[in-house]
Amino acid sequence: MTPEAHAHLSQVDPVFRRLIESVGLCPLKPDRRRSPFEALVRAVAHQQLNGTAAETILGRFLALFPAGRFPEPDEVLAVPDEAIRAAGFSRAKLAAIRDIATKAAAGIVPHRRDLAKLPDEEIVVRLTECRGVGRWTVEMFLMFTLGRQDVLPVDDFGVRNGFRLAYGLAEMPSAKELMAAGESWRPHRTTASWYLWRAVDLAKEAAQKAKPEKVRKSAPKEPLAKKTGVKKTPPKKPAPLKRAKAGSKRPGGASK
C-alpha cells in the first residue's frame, strides 16, 4: 500500500500507530495478472478448503485445458460436467463455476478494463449475481486483485477479531460498530483491514511465547545399589529339608 495510507492511519488512530510500529509497513500488492473470471473461479475453489487441497483441485482442473493455462469462459462451458467433477469439485462448486462462466461469457462479469471504471459497490452488486459469490468474496477480489484501497470487509471474522484484540475489547464488535469505527480510516480502509489481520497474528505469537515450557519426563531412577555404590546382598537360599526319620510324625500327628 502507499506511504499516505500509513501516515493517515498513524495520525488518526494511536492503535494503528502502534500496530504499524510493531508489524512494519504493509506490503500488500494486488495480483493484477488474473482476470475477474479467473479470480472468482479460484475463490470458489478455495471456499471451505485449506489452501493445499484447493490448489490440488485447481491443478487437476487446469490439466483439462491446453498447456495447463487458465481457460476462457467458453472453454469451461465446453467441458463435460463429469470431467470437472473428476477434478475434485463438489456439485455445488461445479454449478457455481458453470454460472460464473456463463455470466462472464455474457458480459455480466466484466473484463478488468471495464471494472476499472466502476465504483466498488457497483462491482459488488454485479458480481454477487453469480452463484456461489457473496459480498465477502467480492471484497477479497477488490482488495487482492483490483487493488482497491478503501475496502473494509466488516463481516470478515479475522478483521473483527483483530479489532477486538487491538482495542482491548471484551466482546467481538458487530459489523455496524466496525463500520462506524472505520469511518476515520477512509480512504485507506484496505490497509487498515490488513493491519487488523496482523493484530490477530501478533496475539497468537504473544500467546505462544507465554506458554510455559513442557515439563520434561524424568529419566527412570537408577537402582539404589548403583546410585549409592552399596551392593545388594543376594537372598540366602533356603536350607534343604531334612528327610524325616522312620516313625517320626508328620504335621497333624500322623505317623509315616
Which residues participate in catalysis according to the annotation?
156
Q: What is the 3-state secondary structure (H, E, C) of 146-183?
A: CCCCCCCCCCCHHHHHHHHHHCCCCCCCCHHHHHHHHH
DSSP assignment letter at 255: B
Assess contact for 188 and 149: CB atoms under 8 A.
yes
Pull the grid cell for residue 18: 502502534
Angle formed at CA 201 by CA 200 and CA 203, multiple of 5 degrees: 65
CA–CA dist 162, 143 (Å, integer):
18
